[in-house]
Structure 1
Amino acid sequence: MNQLKVGILNVAYSPNLGDGLIAECLRHGLASSPAQLDPHFIDLAGRESFSQGLQSKKRLNAVRSMLPAFALGVASRLYLALLVRFRLRPFYRRKMAGLDAVILGGGNLLADQDLNFPKKIHGALMEAARLRLPVYLYGVGVSDDWSPTGRQLFLEALGACDLRFIAVRDARSATLLARALGPAQRDIVTVLDPGVFAALALPPVAQEPPPPDGVARIGVGVMSPGELQYHGLSSLEDHVLFTFYLDLLANLGARGAQVRLFTNGSPEDRAFAQRLSRAFNEGDPARAWWSDVSERIQTPTDLVNVIGGCTGIVAFRLHAIIAALACDKPFVALAWDKKVGAFLDEVQRPGALAEVSPSSAPSIVDRLLATPAAPAPLSSDACAQRSLRSVHRLAALIAPPREPHGPQEAAV
């Protein structure tokens, strides 16, 4: 029997490699299921490689920097409308040709920042509807930032396509989506983010020797103030975040830890990490206990390798935290978006969240270097197996087991 071809519709080649991590996990789960589906990525932004995603983000940032603030919104929306109509819809149509089903899956996709996801998802699902493809919504996050236009686009797209199944990644997302659907409400299932089985989909490979006995190697995940502000955290000013990171590095060094500065790949985050590196090296450029490994991380596999080589991490980015959980590493998640707390609730680790303030670095270091706490109620392995089983059930919905048609076939 031929494998069913399935399109995974998300931002697989985003410069934020956490999105690619989700896509790789979904692909692994679908292909490893008893249904053995043949999954293919369809990037919502029309990208076909990680390098392409990084270059397009840099070009977009360069254009934005040349526009006055009052023109940014109008220019962005005009550009997006033209992009979807003339490039992305033909791209979706081409990628969906010959498919048997489409999964809109993974990441905080039902969110509205300058109509980015509403426009792209609307275009993609209308193409799926035109091709009469069944659509499965799986493992997505839902935000409460929908504009009236964004809401209209999301609801029109979900109503037009042959939507067979809805699964979101946390209870908060389920509540927000149920509220948005209103009278058209459908059954909504909650599943764990597929990234929690990253260590199965992308087994980490050591990139350097382990630290000496008794020495902790702590990964510090950097997120830039510009990215935090774009995603809604306007209260954390540049100088506060910069000072926090420098204090965190100094405190870790004073406690005898090795430090690996890293990012999830965003060019803004990488640039901010370089700023931190230069500032931290000014006093002592020969510090042997720390390094910036950001440039080593070019793919989701690289991200898992770096995090898997640490004894613990502290980070803002959700999928740095999820990768740490997948690799069974202690972590402190820095508060910035409600989706982080929602995920920690799902995996029964709400105490791992920490607020960033001018004086919070020492307490975060204490938590990272403390004597190991009692095991969490839901282990990393239990999270991974639960999420993998959910993806296998999704595969079974798409390709139900075939009943034998006669004695000879039944005996095979």
Structure 2
Amino acid sequence: MTQLKAGILNVAYSPNLGDGLIAECLRYGLTSSAAAIEARFIDLAGRESFSQGLKSKQRFNAIRAMLPTFALGFASRLFLSLLVQFRLKPFYLRKMVGLDAVILGGGNLLADQDLNFPKKIHCALMAAARLRLPVYLYGVGVSDDWSPTGRRLFLEALNACDLRFISVRDARSARLLEQALSPSKRDIVTVLDPGVFAALAMPPEAKNPPLPDGVRRIGVGVMSPSELKYHGLSSMDDQVLFDFYLTLFAELGARGFQVAVFTNGSPEDRAFAKQLSRSVGEDAETQAWFSDASDRIQSPTDLCQFIATCSGIVAFRLHAIIAAFSYDKPFVALEWDKKVGAFLSEVKRPGAIANIAESSGASVLDMLLPGLNPSADLSSRAFAQRSLQSVHQLGALIGQQQQRHAHEHLNR
């Protein structure tokens, strides 16, 4: 039997490496399923490498910086419309030719920031409909920020394509999507984010030696004020965030921990990490306990391998937290988006979150300390197996439906 080919439609090559982490885990799950599906990435932004994604984001930021504030909205909408029509439409069609199925997922894709995902997903699913490819919605996050135009584009695309299966990554997303699809009744399944089995897809490498006895390194994931504000946390004060990080670093250093600053890859986050590192100091005494690992993290595998070497993690970014969970590392999630709390509820860790406006560096560290005890039960194995099994079931479903289609075609 010919090996089935599925396109994973998401933002696999985004500068935010958490999206690539999801894509890698999905590919691992589909490939290791009984159907042994060959999975290919189709990046919604038309990227084909991580370096391309980073350069595109840097160019876009440079152009935005040159425009007056009043022109930003119009310029962004015009650029997006031209990009979708003249570059992405042929890109999607080219990438989908020869596939047996398209999987839209995972990540927070059913979200509407300046119509970015609504327009791209609409175009991509229309391409799938044109090629008569079955579509499977898998493990997506759903936001409550849909504009009227975004809602129309999402619903039009979902209704136009041959949508065989719908799953979301948490109960909140299920509720929001059910409301959006009303009054039509569709079965919506809740599955765990594929990143939960990152430790199975990307096991710790032997070349990364364990820390010496008695040395504990805390990875602190940095997210910039501009990124937090762009993604909805408009109340974030730049100085409050800056001071929080510096006091957290100082508290960790004072209590004998090594501190390793890292990011999930966004150029804005990397620049902010460097700014923080310069403020901490570059003298020999400081460098003995403080380091910036941002430049070493260039791929989802790099991100996972770094987190696997840490003793604990404090971070905003959801997939830094999900990776920490997967590698059985204690963590404190910093509150900024409802999707973080939704994930923690799914994995029974609702209390592992702190609001920096209400917390000090010392209180965040106090939240982390119990998990650093060797007797703490942090095993994610049951959740990882459940998440992987869900992807295997997706692979089986695609295989069964393709076999049925082939059988019906032969009997015509």
**TM-score interval, normalised by the smaller of the two chains:** over 0.9
Offset from partner CA, 1:84-132 (integer Å, 9 cap, x none): 0000000000000010000001100000000000000000000000001
How far the C-alpha of 1:375 sits from its partner, in A, is 2.9
Match of 1:7 in 2: 7
Q: Which residue of 2 aligns with 1:375?
A: 377
Q: Which position in structure 2 is the counterpart of 1:343?
A: 343
Structure 1 counterpart of 2:317: 317
**Partner SS, residue 183 of structure 1:** coil
Deviation larger for 394-403 or 195-204: 394-403
Unmatched 5+ residue regions in structure 2? Answer: 405-412
Q: Is the 8 A contact 1:233 1:336 kept in 2?
A: yes
- 1:13-24 alignment, distance < 5 Å: 13-24=13-24
Partner-residue secondary structure (3-state), 2:182? helix
Please give the residue correspondences for 1:394-405 in structure 2 after superposition, counting only pairs within 5 Å: 394-400=394-400
Structure 1's 28 and 109: CA in aligned 2 closer, same or farther, altered over 3 A? same
2:310 maps to a residue whose letter is C
Counterparts of 2:101 and 2:81, CA distance in 1 = 26
Contact 1:10 1:44 in 2 (8 A): yes
C-alpha distance in 2, partners of 1:295/1:282?
Answer: 16
Question: Against the structure 1 CA distance between its residues 59 and 31, is the aligned structure 2 distance closer, same or farther, given a 3 Å change threshold?
Answer: same
Alignment of 1:192-203 (within 5 A): 192-203=192-203
Contact 2:280–2:286, Cα closer than 8 Å, also in 1: no
Q: Does the 8 A contact of 1:207 with 1:306 survive in 2?
A: no
Q: Alpha-carbon deviations, 1:260-302, whole Å to 9, x = none?
A: 1000000000000000000001676643112000000000000
The correspondence of residues 374-393 of structure 1 with structure 2, limited to 5 A, is 375=377, 379-393=379-393
Matching residue of 1:29: 29
- 1:66 is matched with 66
* Greater Cα offset, 199-208 or 315-324: 199-208
Cα distance change, pair 282–36 in 1 and its aligned pair in 2 (3 A): closer
User: In structure 2, what is the equivalent of residue 152 of structure 1?
Assistant: 152
State TM-score, norm by structure 1: 0.95
The answer on whether the counterparts of 2:211 and 2:309 sit within 8 Å (CA) in structure 1 is: no
* Paired residues for 1:352-363 under 5 Å: 352-357=352-357, 359-363=359-363
Query: How many angstroms apart in 1 are the aligned matches of 2:82 and 2:120?
Result: 11
Distance 1:138 1:251 in 2: 41
**Secondary structure in structure 2 of the residue aligned to 1:298:** coil
- Residue 15 of structure 1 aligns to a residue whose secondary structure is coil
Residues 21-80 of structure 1, C-alpha deviation per residue, up to 9 Å, x if partnerless? 000000000000000001100000000000000000000000000111111111100100
Output the CA distance in 2 between the equivalents of 1:211 and 1:307.
13
Amino acid corresponding to residue 138 of structure 1 in structure 2: Y
Distance 2:36 2:210 in 1: 37
Alignment of 1:172-321 (within 5 A): 172-205=172-205, 208-281=208-281, 286-321=286-321
CA RMSD of aligned residues (A): 1.5
The question of whether the paired residues in 2 share the 8 Å contact of 1:144 and 1:176 is answered with: yes
- Structure 1: which 5+ residue stretches go unaligned? 404-412
- Secondary structure (helix, strand or coil) at the match of 2:332 reads strand
Q: Tell which deviates more after alignment, 389-398 or 280-289.
A: 280-289
Q: Distance in 1 between matches of 2:282 and 2:53?
A: 33
Give the structure 2 partner of residue 57 of structure 1: 57
Equivalent residue letter for 2:365: V
User: Letter of the aligned partner of 2:5 in structure 1?
Assistant: K
* Contact 1:243/1:358 (<8 A) preserved: no
Instruction: Classify the secondary structure of the residue corresponding to 1:399.
Output: helix
1:314 Cα shift? 0.3
Q: For 2:6, what is the secondary structure of its paired residue?
A: strand
Alpha-carbon separation, structure 2, partners of 1:21 and 1:374: 26
Partner amino acid for 2:339? Answer: K
Q: Residues 291 and 282 of structure 1: is their aligned pair in 2 closer, same or farther, counting only changes over 3 Å?
A: closer
Q: TM-score normalized by structure 2?
A: 0.95
CA distance in 1, matches of 2:33, 2:125: 25
- In structure 2, the CA distance between the partners of 1:112 and 1:207, relative to structure 1 (3 Å rule), is farther
Q: Kindly state the Cα deviation for residue 208 of structure 1 after the two structures are TM-superposed.
A: 5.0
1:48 aligns with 48
Instruction: Answer with 180-189 or 17-26: which moved more.
Output: 180-189
Q: What are the within-5 Å matches in structure 2 for residues 36-185 of structure 1?
A: 36-185=36-185
- Do the aligned partners of residues 286 and 348 (structure 1) sit closer, same or farther apart at CA in structure 2, a change above 3 Å counting? closer
Shift, 1:209, TM fit: 3.9
Taking structure 1 as reference, are residues 307 and 207 closer, same or farther at Cα in structure 2, changes over 3 Å only? farther
> Aligned AA for 1:81?
S
Q: Deviations over 1:180-237 (max 9, x none)?
A: 0011231000000000000111112256543332332100000000000000001111
The percent identity for this pair of structures is 74
Give the AA of the match of 2:257: A
**SS state of the match for residue 204, structure 1?**
coil
Report the equivalent of 2:410.
none
Secondary structure at the aligned position of 1:214 is classed as: coil
Say how many residue pairs are matched. Answer: 401
